[in-house]
Structure 1
Amino acid sequence: MPGLVKMKKYNWKDSNMALFGSDLERQVKKASALGEPAWKDAGTQPGLQIWRIVKFIVTEWPKEDYGKFYSGDSYIILNSYLEGDSMDLKYDVHFWIGSKSSQDEYGTAAYKTVELDTFLDDKAVQHREVEGFETELFRSYFKEIVIMEGGAETGFRHVEPKKYKIRLMQCFGKGAKVAIQEVPLNKCSLNSDDVFILDAGTTCWQYNGNNASPFEKARCMEFLQNLEGERAGHCKGEVIDEHSISEGHEFYKLLEANEAATEFEEVELPSDKKLFCVSDASGKVNFSEVKSGKIEKEDLGSDDVFLFDSCEQIFVWIGKNASPAEKRNGMTYAHVSIVSSERNIYLQYKYNIELMFK
């Protein structure tokens, strides 16, 4: 898998934090949420709903494309469900950030996710997802996750042989949980443990590595069949095996003709765990670091919201007596903290304290 792509630096001075947590800020958010056309039918019945951010606008993502994402875009995903015998819907809302999504797009996705939670009367659990590092909960919504380069405007259904962008996709995973992600278009991307699809528009090859699992092969075969169906007979699929393909095969020739590899910048994770607090005890919402190093459950208090940075993951924990202002702003501060540190890591909101310290 390629390394992480550095995200643009976030300038704290670009954010007006003065009104965070105030009644005015809450009223403005609620009014904005009620006026957002995209939320009209959001969370009205059990099921999955997905939107993509297009030039600051929340646009509905086609249901037939659920599970397919572009690295140049940002998305909002809402899962509405019933639990037990209760008829009250529960919600998980995720915003997914593509590795090449612009700051405008992922900033809008983050803001609109909070707005959607406001629209749902603060009942949603919010999650931040980053391309290639999605949570198990997020992955559970889809039979497969397909991540492609570019934005949705570079769609893959309409096939014009002379204009089509050739793509190499890697199919990988453990057990039945399989993901499909676009990788650099060259032979160096291949390995013996996974399955790959070379999509040349009118012809697609499924390359089975010698050690690829039956789940990966089956999922890629299904993906290949779906491509053929979506392109209405204008795409022919072919399955090839690593041990039997010749060096002169057209599959290799296409890869050798596109040897320009994509470079990625690695981001080093910090080594010290940190605990932050969101509190309005002073009459104004403040965000501050309270401890670093060894963090224990006893360091949390019931009256505030805490951000626990475990270096690999950030948890937003809400004390049972936390004020509405503190609850509303925990996710906002957590997202800004991640962006400013240039790390692509998990963000879990309203999290169970026992799981935080496992």
Structure 2
Amino acid sequence: MSGLVKAKKYDWKDSNLALFGSDTEKQVKKESAEQEEKWHSAGQEPGLQIWRIESFQVEDWPKEEYGRFYNGDSYIILNTYQKDDSEELLYDVHFWIGKNSSQDEYGTAAYKTVELDTYLDDKPVQHREVMGHESEMFRSYFKTIQTMEGGAKSGFRHVEPEQYQPRLLRFNGQRKTVTIREVPLLKSKLNSGDVYILDMGKQIYQWNGTDCNKDERFKAMQYVQELESERGGASTEVLDEDSVSKSHEFYEALGDGDPEEDESDEETEEEEKVLMRYTEGDGSEVKRGDITSEDLVSNDVFLIDTGKEVFVWVGADASPNEKKNGFSYAHSYLKGKEKSYPPVTIVKEGQTNAALEMALSA
């Protein structure tokens, strides 16, 4: 049998959160973490560092590629910062899962995230990010987030414009949250509320939907300018949906099929907040609605579901077993939900996290 094999559809409920909680998984020691050479330069000064998982190994991601992610890969992102006038270094570490990333890849990213946390003396706040459902904090690190087809196993590499395979890129969002995502080359993927770029190598089209906003148009224009600079020039044309002919080459380059359903296109609905309490693995619902810091006590672990994000708050006096199972509690909780892919953040008592503080005070 020949031809391309279609990638397995990502099962959001088959989340790497399930890999946490076993005795073997959680026995990550400082000595073991120090054997990972990539961590030796991690978190030494304020700034962003990104690594991609390749064949179970942690590899540096080029700085010029920061903000660009391949949907067949998993990544680790470390943000090092200082608060106010303090010289103390603080950290947020995220693992990002592409929708076509394999279980081996995102399992390694999850394991290595815990290892990096250990290497940095348990100071980082840990986060899980799923492609298309990233937290506001994660999005704030980049001017734009661009997700592309492919990955390490697909032989991703730079190609010349003459060899370029056409790509259709969707620009969606407002202000600092405009994301760029590669979508199938289909007319049915065009949405009047967004901007699209058809990148054909030497020929580039920017298609402005009738109801798109100025931020999407501006980001697309910037992207076109970057492409022109990278390639030493290219023919570009801006098309407005309500004035371009359906016989234009732009439409001719797109197919007529129906797109597959993509859960990352779904809007997250506002839901009532839920507070769960975990004592030695047993979880019970405490309350719904308004949740404050006074609802949290130091001898247990609590899960706060805001409807958009999930936070696991680990009390300082929780048992060792409770402390090591925060991600596992989140996985078990989300497994019973229709949508199991929101951002997940683990916050230890005493750590600061603006999003959690807002959730507890809102």
- Please report the TM-score for the alignment, with normalisation by the length of structure 1: 0.83
Distance 1:272 1:239, change over 3 A: closer
Q: Percent identity?
A: 47
Task: Map 1:54-133; keep pairs closer than 5 Å.
Answer: 54-133=54-133
Shift of 1:105: 1.1
Rounded to whole Å, the distance in 2 between the matches of 1:95 and 1:117 is 12
| 2:159 counterpart of 1:158 | yes
Distance 1:245 1:102 in 2: 41
Partner of 2:359: 355
Whole-Å separation in 2 of the counterparts to 1:333 and 1:315: 11
Pairwise CA distance, 1:305: 2.1
Quick one: which of 274, 291, 308 aligns to 2:304?
A: 308
Aligned to 1:246: 245
Whole-Å Cα distance in 2 between the matches of residues 8 and 80 of structure 1?
A: 30
Q: CA deviation at 1:17?
A: 2.0
How far off is 1:127 after superposition? 1.1
CA shift for structure 1 position 186: 1.0
- 1:319 maps to 2:350: no
Q: What is the distance in 1 between the residues matched to 2:18 and 2:94? A: 26
User: Hey, what does 2:5 align to over in structure 1?
Assistant: none
Change (3 A) 1:113 1:15: closer
Q: Which runs of 5+ in 2 are unaligned?
A: 1-8, 348-352
Which amino acid letter does the alignment assign opposite residue 294 of structure 1?
R
Give 2:191's aligned residue. 191
- d(CA) in 1 for partners of 2:83, 2:283: 36
Q: Which of 20, 23, 47 does residue 18 from structure 1 map onto? A: 23
The residue type paired with residue 227 of structure 1 is: L
Pair 332,226 (structure 1): closer, same or farther in 2 beyond 3 Å: farther
Structure-2 change in CA distance of 1:190 and 1:81 (3 Å): same
Q: Which amino acid aligns with 1:251?
A: F
Q: Name the CA distance, whole Å, in 2 between partners of 1:87 and 1:51.
A: 25
Aligned residue type for 1:67: G
Q: Offset at 1:88?
A: 1.0
| Cross-structure match for 1:6 | 11
**Cα offset for 1:289?**
1.0
- The residue identity in structure 2 corresponding to 1:348 is T
Unaligned runs of 5+ residues in structure 1 are 280-285
Relative to 1, partners in 2 of residues 1:89 and 1:174: Cα closer, same or farther, differing over 3 Å?
same
The Cα shift of 1:277 comes to 4.5
Please state how far the C-alpha of 1:318 moved relative to its aligned partner.
Answer: 2.3
Superposition TM-score, scaled by structure 2 size: 0.82
**d(CA) in 2 for partners of 1:99, 1:180:** 15
8 A Cα contact 1:225 1:237, kept in partner: no
RMSD between aligned alpha carbons? 3.2
Q: In structure 1, give the amino acid aligned to 2:56.
A: F
Q: Does 1:213 align with 2:213?
A: yes
Tell me the secondary structure at the aligned position of residue 302 of structure 1. coil
Aligned equivalents of 1:302 and 1:349: distance in 2? 15
Where 2:178 maps in the other structure, the secondary structure is strand
Against the structure 1 CA distance between its residues 177 and 310, is the aligned structure 2 distance closer, same or farther, given a 3 Å change threshold?
A: closer
- Judge which range, 179-188 or 39-48, deviates more: 179-188
Further displaced range: 10-19 or 286-295: 10-19
